[in-house]
């Protein structure tokens, strides 16, 4: 029964995709949106079914494998169409389908005026199917398939408004960086297969324990390659540059794919392959250090940039950094706890951002916003809930989940303490940049758009692409003819209210000393871990939580000081330290670095191949040589008054006869 | 079942079409179209009837042809050529369909050439006698010469000249190699034979193997084409009419790769293992060079053309990894590549039809809004082209890479870079035609269900079916493919050293069956 629920989870969104794609022309009004939402609700219900049925089993029996058919089995490579239903995959399926459902509902209204309405929901359903395949896949190959499918869905939705040059370029960039990650996974799969002879999870894990000793070179390499895959998907430094650009997609997509679900796949991957990482602690440490760097780095960037969605995107990179640290330090439940709460509050923040951007007629620069509080009370309240959760303010969910990771780092002791300290530093920055947005957008003097809104109107503008200044294409462009804000749309309100409740109270499943629901639920998956049961004492956790709360309060206070109390201070700071400001605003020049080291050399190589190799050698030398042969042949042909073809036929025949004669003479 | 029936139906229908009076051009079209369909049905029946557990050939036809020279009319099917024959029959059918929905000058001659071409290609795939293979291999040149030269466009004379010279030089070298192989392998006092099974049993000195190998390799690499033997490709691809281009790039390019597996590896195992590194270098350079060229081309056809060089590079990599996984990957990849190339060239033709026949990426773009069906089909094919996981091409590619990693990990790792580059050129091609602003030449419109869909839909459907169940192919090819590379793989796993290989090659070969 458990496996049936598992397959049904996958079936619903797949059917949704097919039905919406085929019916794109005939589905009237908002039906495509409701159909898509219903499909995802179906998946969510089945995920609950899977949850209940798996809880009925004994803890040892909570890893259910089911194969429908042989996918590819040849030359000792054996891959089935297999799913694995265990607490980890069920948790992921619940989070993914639940958040996806709410975002679908939100989109029903938000995308209402878009000309690509059905296309949007077909893509979105396909994304959910892929993501569920990724988390349910019972072997490495199906994981890679889901992994690539979510990448493709992400690509399609980033370049959803495909007449924008910036959107298509961002799509290409995201796709290619993700393929780099895919290659990492493929090579890792090979390394694991070559030593264990298996590609399914159970086989690989069992085989690894026999094949590798701790920190064996091959397993370290394999884990580092898995990390490459995880980092590409989860936008961790140095493979993070695609995610801010991915904000070119519609805002609900940013909420779903580029905040709540897909980008956390890297965290899932490390949690799923935890037996391997525990055999390769070196690789786990390298992963943790890079992720630590990432969460500090991204937080600093988020302080300087002014694009509302990109700020939240950097915040996502930063928060995923925390999760990766959580799982890479072998505190799996902590990382997954934060993954879950982050899905709630970050999806909520993006939904709020969507509403704000709609009210601003497509404007995304926070410097041009202000005083929206009175015009958008609902958006303000929910955005505030999301911000408090992100800042880690008690008692919101982010406070509990983020701190469980930091406390675990302190508990590991040794140099891991440095990671814990960095965790608090970044938390301070997080609270600061989060409330920079809140104060900038909602407080202060109301801007023109806010006044319009207060009078019951909605701003409209002939929009230009802020990055290129290009006028938007109205056929497939953003913003569409109508905008939708949460205040006026019931589905948007519904989705945001529910997420606000979850962002506030989602932490209750992991209160130290009170409830360890999540940890106990996940136990069967991580039973084989050497770190199972290792946790800081409740006292230590509560001390950590207190420090976390103080940090958040300090960050919020600093933002209040800079942006509300003394409004000129931020400008003055930027003027006083122009280099630092520029450095942060350019995001530490990572994009420029890659342009210089990867993109340009490749273009130069292509130009060189085209001009020198192709023209000089292949066409010049080789064809020129052959061309000379042609001319010679033609002269002969002309002298005996033949057409070309006859000359060639003759040539062929003469050659054939001559060679035949030669060898016959030789052999006799 | 007799293999001669599907083999000669196309030629027979083509000949009948030629003999029709001038006014009955429509009948010529129907005849050849019917012929390709008949062959396709026959081949589908073969797929159903195929015994996948058998190691040897099935439905063998064997007649003496030229007894004194040991040449036989010998045909047979096993796992190695089964799916190549199937995809040949499929692509010829859709190309005949595509052609039948359009008008051609001198239709009777055109359809005759199409029929002749199918027979020649099927013959090359079915032949189990080296001389017969050579005959069909060279026969392929004739219809393609006419199809490009008469119905081509632009600089077709220059294009055909290059194409013919290149392939002819290759063919002649192979001819010499084939004759040498037959003659030199004849034991003292024995009867000369060109039958592949006989040749495989007989042995050749190592030095002889090497130069014969090089002769065959030249012919096959030109046909593929591989870097740096692709000088004919750009001009020819630009000039060739769409259905012919589908066949040229989809099917003809596979004959070379198939030749390696059918002829070279089993008969010249010593040379195959000695020259393994050379072939791997050619493969890897082809992958990188083809990919880099593909993402910097402006002509949509040439993007696909250079991408084919890269894809054929992957196939060569799989074959010369001399590993069962790699070879299996190569075989399924040949089928996949034939399908995606067909899809891509048809799609490009449809796009050109909506943009004043322009195939320049600079002048295209933004078609997706008015052409959602085309955009969707193109997307599927483009993602398969870049071997996205979930596509059948990924199954081929991962097996090839696994094979390469297992035997020669450095080549495998370098080739992996080609995977990322494939994403660049495939997505770029898709974006530059479907997305971005509407290009100056574009007159938006979707593909025609009557004219375009009949040819494109089967290709995409087969791709989707293979994506769900690639095991259908792998299961049937495994038994044969692994035996074809066994001898060469065994050689390459012996302790290296040219002297030792040379001396052991003289002795009766233990590793061959």
| Most confident option among A483-492, A576-585, B120-129 | B120-129
Sort out which chain B residues have CB atoms less than 8 A from A10's CB and list them. none
In this predicted structure, the answer to whether residue A652 has a pLDDT above a threshold of 50 is yes
Tell me, what's the pLDDT at B502? 40
Who among B165, B179, B471 is closest to A72 (CB)? B471
The burial of A384, by beta-carbon neighbours within 10 Å (0-12 exposed, 13-18 middle, 19 or more buried), is given as middle
Q: Average pLDDT for residues A570-593, to the nearest whole number?
A: 86
Query: Which of A415-424, A522-531, A634-643 bottoms out in mean pLDDT, i.e. has the lowest?
Result: A634-643
Show the tokens assigned to A217: 């070179």
Radius of gyration of chain B (CA): 22
A193 lies within 8 A of chain B by CB? yes
Question: Are residues B79 and B476 in contact, defined by beta-carbon separation less than 8 angstroms?
Answer: yes
Question: Are residues A355 and A379 in contact, defined by beta-carbon separation less than 8 angstroms?
Answer: yes
Tell me, what's the pLDDT at B510? 40
Helix residue ranges per DSSP H, B196-252: 196-201, 206-223, 233-239, 242-247
B157 lies within 8 A of chain A by CB? no
Q: Which of B395, B78, B293, B32 is nearest to A186 (CA)?
A: B395
Confidence of residue B498 (pLDDT cuts 50, 70, 90): very low
d(CA A497, CA A504): 11
Interhelix angle B156-185/A624-639, rounded to 10 degrees, is 90
In this predicted structure, the answer to whether residue A116 has a pLDDT above a threshold of 90 is no
Tell me, what's the pLDDT at A630? 55
B360 lies within 8 A of chain A by CB? no
SS3 A402: helix
Question: Are residues A442 and A568 in contact, defined by beta-carbon separation less than 8 angstroms?
Answer: no
d(CA B199, CA B51): 25
Q: Average pLDDT for residues A306-334, to the nearest whole number?
A: 93
Tell me, what's the pLDDT at A510? 77
Answer whether residue B289 is part of any domain. Answer: yes
In eight-state DSSP terms, residue A219 is H
Mind spelling out the 3-state secondary structure of A253-303?
HHHHHHHHCHHHHHHHHHHHCHHHHHHCHHHHHHHHHHHHHHHHHHHHHHH
Tell me, what's the pLDDT at A165? 85
Query: Which of A410-424, A510-524, A555-569 bottoms out in mean pLDDT, i.e. has the lowest?
Result: A510-524
| Sequential DSSP letters for A13-65 | HHHHHHHHHHTTTT--TTHHHHHHHHHHHHHHHHHHHHHHHHHTS-GGG--EE
B324 lies within 8 A of chain A by CB? yes
Answer whether residue B407 is part of any domain. Answer: yes
Confidence of residue A336 (pLDDT cuts 50, 70, 90): very high
Write out pLDDT tens, residues B418-459: 999 999 999 999 999 999 888 888 888 888 888 999 999 999
d(CA A37, CA A122): 11
Show the tokens assigned to A441: 């957008």
Tell me, what's the pLDDT at B376? 93
Mean pLDDT for all residues in chain A: 87
A618 lies within 8 A of chain B by CB? yes
Is there a contact between B386 and A629 if contact means CB atoms under 8 Å apart? no
Confidence of residue B366 (pLDDT cuts 50, 70, 90): confident
Show the tokens assigned to B183: 């003659």
Tell me, what's the pLDDT at B503? 38
In this prediction the ipTM stands at 0.91
Tell me, what's the pLDDT at A656? 66
Tell me, what's the pLDDT at A624? 56
A571 compared with A273, residue with greater pLDDT: A273
In this predicted structure, the answer to whether residue B499 has a pLDDT above a threshold of 50 is no
Q: Which of A134, A101, A94 is nearest to A35 (CA)?
A: A101
In this predicted structure, the answer to whether residue B500 has a pLDDT above a threshold of 50 is no
Length of chain B: 513
Confidence of residue A666 (pLDDT cuts 50, 70, 90): low
Tell me, what's the pLDDT at B444? 80
H helix or E strand, kind and range, residue A395: none
H helix or E strand, kind and range, residue A368: none
Contacts for A174 with CB less than 8 Å, ≥ 6 apart: A151, A154, A155, A158, A242, A243, A245, A246
Size of interface A-B (CB pairs under 8 A): 187
Q: Which of B350, B426, B354, B353 is nearest to B387 (CA)?
A: B426
Tell me, what's the pLDDT at A347? 94
Tell me, what's the pLDDT at A128? 95
Tell me, what's the pLDDT at B447? 85
d(CA B327, CA B315): 8
Mean pLDDT for all residues in chain B: 89
Who among A141, A183, A609 is closest to B289 (CB)? A609
Separation in Å, CA of A204 to nearest CA in chain B: 16
- The residues that bridge with B71 in the sheet, in sequence order, are B66
Q: Average pLDDT for residues A426-434, to the nearest whole number?
A: 94
* End-to-end Cα, chain A, rounded Å: 76
A118 lies within 8 A of chain B by CB? no
Other Cβ atoms within 10 Å of A571 Cβ, number: 11
Pairing mode, if any, of strands A64-74 and B58-66? unpaired
Greatest Cα pair distance, chain A, in angstroms, is 106
H helix or E strand, kind and range, residue A427: helix A416-442
Length of chain A: 668
In this predicted structure, the answer to whether residue A525 has a pLDDT above a threshold of 90 is no
Question: Are residues B91 and B99 in contact, defined by beta-carbon separation less than 8 angstroms?
Answer: no
Is there a contact between A77 and B399 if contact means CB atoms under 8 Å apart? yes
Tell me, what's the pLDDT at A481? 67
Tell me, what's the pLDDT at B114? 94
Contacts for A289 with CB less than 8 Å, ≥ 6 apart: A419
Tell me, what's the pLDDT at A1? 81
Answer whether residue B47 is part of any domain. Answer: no
Show the tokens assigned to A469: 């200044």
Backbone angles phi, psi at B163, to 5 degrees: -60, -45
d(CA B84, CA B252): 11
The burial of A592, by beta-carbon neighbours within 10 Å (0-12 exposed, 13-18 middle, 19 or more buried), is given as exposed
| Sequential DSSP letters for B146-209 | HHHHHH--SSHHHHHHHHHHHHHHHHHHHHHHHHHHHHHHSPTTPPP--BHHHHHHS---HHHH
Give the residue carrying structure tokens 């071409």: B117
Q: Which of B176, B79, B182, B167 is nearest to B130 (CA)?
A: B182
In eight-state DSSP terms, residue B22 is G
Sort out which chain A residues have CB atoms less than 8 A from B372's CB and list them. 24, 119
Domain count, chain B: 1
Write out pLDDT tens, residues B177-230: 999 998 888 888 888 889 998 888 888 888 889 999 999 999 999 988 888 888
Tell me, what's the pLDDT at A635? 53
Q: Average pLDDT for residues A301-317, to the nearest whole number?
A: 92
Answer whether residue B447 is part of any domain. Answer: yes
In this predicted structure, the answer to whether residue A479 has a pLDDT above a threshold of 70 is no
Contacts for A285 with CB less than 8 Å, ≥ 6 apart: A328
B88 compared with B438, residue with greater pLDDT: B88
Confidence of residue A574 (pLDDT cuts 50, 70, 90): confident
Question: What sign for the dihedral angle of Cα B115, B119, B120, B122?
Answer: positive
B230 lies within 8 A of chain A by CB? yes
d(CA A46, CA A98): 11
SS3 B72: strand
Show the tokens assigned to A76: 């000792």
A293 lies within 8 A of chain B by CB? no
Segment 153-182 of chain A within 8 Å of chain B by CB: 155-156, 159, 162-163, 165, 168, 171-172, 175-176, 179-180, 182
Tell me, what's the pLDDT at A570? 81
Tell me, what's the pLDDT at B504? 39
Is there a contact between A159 and B376 if contact means CB atoms under 8 Å apart? no
Query: Which of B156-160, B410-414, B422-426, B500-504 bottoms out in mean pLDDT, i.e. has the lowest?
Result: B500-504
Show the tokens assigned to B166: 């290149």
Domain that holds residue B464: 275-489
In this predicted structure, the answer to whether residue A325 has a pLDDT above a threshold of 50 is yes
Write out pLDDT tens, residues A588-645: 888 888 888 888 888 888 888 887 777 766 766 555 555 555 555 555 445 444 455 5
Show the tokens assigned to B75: 């045909």
A226 compared with B507, residue with greater pLDDT: A226
Contacts for A404 with CB less than 8 Å, ≥ 6 apart: A326, A331, A333, A334, A337, A338, A510, A512, A541
Give the residue carrying structure tokens 């025949």: A653
Write out pLDDT tens, residues A351-408: 999 999 988 888 888 888 888 888 899 999 999 999 999 999 988 999 999 999 999 9
Write out pLDDT tens, residues A67-93: 999 999 888 899 999 999 999 999 999
Closest chain A CA to residue B324: A75
| Sequential DSSP letters for A602-637 | HHHHHHHIIIIIIIIIIIIIIIHHHHHHHHHHHHHH
Closest chain A CA to residue B428: A172
H helix or E strand, kind and range, residue A413: none
């Amino acid at each position: 029964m458990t496996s049936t629920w598992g397959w049904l989870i996958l079936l619903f969104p797949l059917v949704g995709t097919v039905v919406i794609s085929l019916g794109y022309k005939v589905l009237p009004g908002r039906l495509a949106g409701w159909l898509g939402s219903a499909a995802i609700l179906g998946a969510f219900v089945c995920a609950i079914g899977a949850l209940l049925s798996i809880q009925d089993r004994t803890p040892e029996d909570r890893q259910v494998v089911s194969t429908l058919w042989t996918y590819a089995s040849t030359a000792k490579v054996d891959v089935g169409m297999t799913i694995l239903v265990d607490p980890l995959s069920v948790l992921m399926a619940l989070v993914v389908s639940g958040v996806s459902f709410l975002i679908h509902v939100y989109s029903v209204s938000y995308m209402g005026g878009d000309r690509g309405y059905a296309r949007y929901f077909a893509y979105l359903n396909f994304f959910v199917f892929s993501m569920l395949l990724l988390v349910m896949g019972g072997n490495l190959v199906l994981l890679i398939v889901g992994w690539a499918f979510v990448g493709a869905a992400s690509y399609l939705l980033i370049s959803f408004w495909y007449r924008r040059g910036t959107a298509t370029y961002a799509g290409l960039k995201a796709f290619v960086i993700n393929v780099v990650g895919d290659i990492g996974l493929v090579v890792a799969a090979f390394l694991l297969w070559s030593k264990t002879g298996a590609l399914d999870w159970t086989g690989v894990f069992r085989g690894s324990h026999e094949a590798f000793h701790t920190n064996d070179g091959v397993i370290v390499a394999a884990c580092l390659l898995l990390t490459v895959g995880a980092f590409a998907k989860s936008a961790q430094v140095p493979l993070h540059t695609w995610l801010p650009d991915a904000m070119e997609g519609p805002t609900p997509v940013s909420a779903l794919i580029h905040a709540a679900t897909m980008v956390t796949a890297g965290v899932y991957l490390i949690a799923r392959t935890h037996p391997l990482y525990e055999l390769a602690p070196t690789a786990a440490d390298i992963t943790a250090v890079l992720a630590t760097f990432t969460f500090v780095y991204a937080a600093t960037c988020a302080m300087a940039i002014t694009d509302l969605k990109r700020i939240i995107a950097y915040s996502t990179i930063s928060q995923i950094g925390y999760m990766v640290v959580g799982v890479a330090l072998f505190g799996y439940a902590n990382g997954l706890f934060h993954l879950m709460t982050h899905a709630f509050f970050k999806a909520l923040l993006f939904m709020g951002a969507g509403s704000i951007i709609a009210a601003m007629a497509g404007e995304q620069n926070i410097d041009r916003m202000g005083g929206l509080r009175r015009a958008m009370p609902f958006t303000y309240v929910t955005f505030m809930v999301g911000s408090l959760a992100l800042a880690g303010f008690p008692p919101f969910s982010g406070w509990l989940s983020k701190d469980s990771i930091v406390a675990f780092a302190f508990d590991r002791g040794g140099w891991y303490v440095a990671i814990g300290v960095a965790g608090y530093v970044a938390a301070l920055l997080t609270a600061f940049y989060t409330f920079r947005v809140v104060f900038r957008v909602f407080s202060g003097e109301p801007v023109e758009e806010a006044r319009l809104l207060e009078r019951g109107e909605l701003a409209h503008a002939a929009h230009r692409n802020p990055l290129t200044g290009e006028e938007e294409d109205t056929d497939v462009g953003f913003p569409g003819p109508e905008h939708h804000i949460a205040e006026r749309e019931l589905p948007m309100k519904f989705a945001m209210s529910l997420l606000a409740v979850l962002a506030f109270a989602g932490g209750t499943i992991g209160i130290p000393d009170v409830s360890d629901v999540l940890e106990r639920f996940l136990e069967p998956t991580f039973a084989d871990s050497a770190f199972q049961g290792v946790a800081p004492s409740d006292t230590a956790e509560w001390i950590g939580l207190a420090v976390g709360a103080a940090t958040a309060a300090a960050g919020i206070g600093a933002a209040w000081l800079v942006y509300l109390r003394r409004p000129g201070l931020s400008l003055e700071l930027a003027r006083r330290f122009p280099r630092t400001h520029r450095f942060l605003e350019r995001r530490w020049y990572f994009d420029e670095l890659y342009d210089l080291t990867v993109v340009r050399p490749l273009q130069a190589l292509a130009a060189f191949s085209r001009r020198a190799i192709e023209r000089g050698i292949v066409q010049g030398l080789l064809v020129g040589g052959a061309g000379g042969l042609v001319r010679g042949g033609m002269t002969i042909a002309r002298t005996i008054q033949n057409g070309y073809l006859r000359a060639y036929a003759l040539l062929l025949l003469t050659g054939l006869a001559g060679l035949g004669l030669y060898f016959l003479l030789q052999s006799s | 079942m007799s293999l001669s029936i599907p083999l000669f139906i196309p030629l027979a229908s083509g000949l009948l079409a030629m003999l029709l009076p001038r006014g009955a051009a429509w009948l010529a079209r129907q005849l050849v179209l019917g012929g390709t369909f008949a062959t396709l049905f026959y081949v589908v029946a073969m797929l159903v009837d195929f015994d996948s557990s058998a190691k040897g050939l099935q439905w063998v036809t064997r007649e003496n042809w030229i007894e004194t020279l040991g040449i036989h009319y010998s045909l047979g099917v096993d796992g190695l050529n089964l799916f190549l024959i199937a995809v040949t029959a499929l692509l010829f059918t859709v190309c005949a369909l595509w052609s039948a929905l359009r008008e051609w000058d001198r239709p009777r001659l055109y359809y005759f050439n199409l029929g002749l071409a199918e027979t020649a290609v099927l013959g090359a795939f079915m032949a189990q006698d080296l001389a017969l293979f050579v005959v069909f291999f060279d026969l392929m040149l004739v219809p393609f010469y006419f199809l490009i030269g008469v119905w081509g466009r632009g600089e077709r004379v220059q294009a055909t000249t290059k194409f013919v010279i290149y392939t002819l030089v290759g063919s002649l070298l192979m001819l010499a190699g084939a004759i040498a192989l037959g003659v030199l392998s004849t034991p003292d006092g024995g009867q000369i034979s060109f039958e592949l099974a006989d040749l495989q049993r007989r042995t050749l000195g190592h030095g002889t193997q090497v130069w014969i190998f090089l002769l065959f390799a030249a012919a096959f690499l030109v046909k593929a084409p591989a870097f740096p033997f692709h000088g004919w490709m750009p001009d020819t691809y630009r000039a060739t009419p769409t259905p012919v281009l589908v066949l040229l790039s989809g099917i003809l390019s596979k004959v070379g790769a198939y030749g390696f597996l059918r002829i070279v590896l089993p008969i010249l195992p010593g040379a195959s293992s000695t020259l393994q590194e050379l072939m791997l270098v050619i493969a890897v350079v082809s992958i990188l060079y083809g990919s880099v060229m593909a993402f910097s081309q402006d002509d949509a056809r040439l993007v696909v053309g250079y991408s084919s060089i890269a894809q054929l590079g992957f196939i060569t990599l799989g074959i010369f990894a001399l590993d069962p996984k790699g070879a299996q990957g190569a075989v399924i990849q040949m089928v996949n590549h034939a399908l995606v190339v067909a899809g891509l060239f048809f799609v490009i033709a449809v796009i050109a039809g909506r943009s004043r026949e322009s195939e320049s990426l600079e002048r295209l773009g933004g078609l997706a809004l008015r052409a959602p069906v085309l955009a969707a089909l193109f997307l599927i094919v483009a993602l398969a082209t870049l071997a996205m996981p979930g596509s059948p091409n990924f199954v081929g590619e991962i097996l090839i890479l696994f094979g390469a990693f297992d035997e020669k990990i450095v080549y495998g790792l370098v080739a992996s870079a080609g995977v990322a580059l494939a994403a660049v050129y495939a997505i770029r091609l898709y974006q530059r035609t479907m997305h971005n602003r509407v290009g100056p030449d574009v007159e938006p419109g979707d593909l025609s269900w009557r004219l375009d869909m009949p040819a494109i839909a089967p290709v995409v459907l087969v791709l989707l079916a293979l994506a769900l169940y690639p095991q259908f192919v792998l299961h049937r090819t495994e038994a044969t493919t692994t035996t074809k590379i066994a001898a060469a793989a065994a050689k390459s796993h012996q302790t290296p050293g040219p002297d030792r290989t040379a001396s052991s090659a003289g002795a009766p070969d233990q590793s061959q069956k």
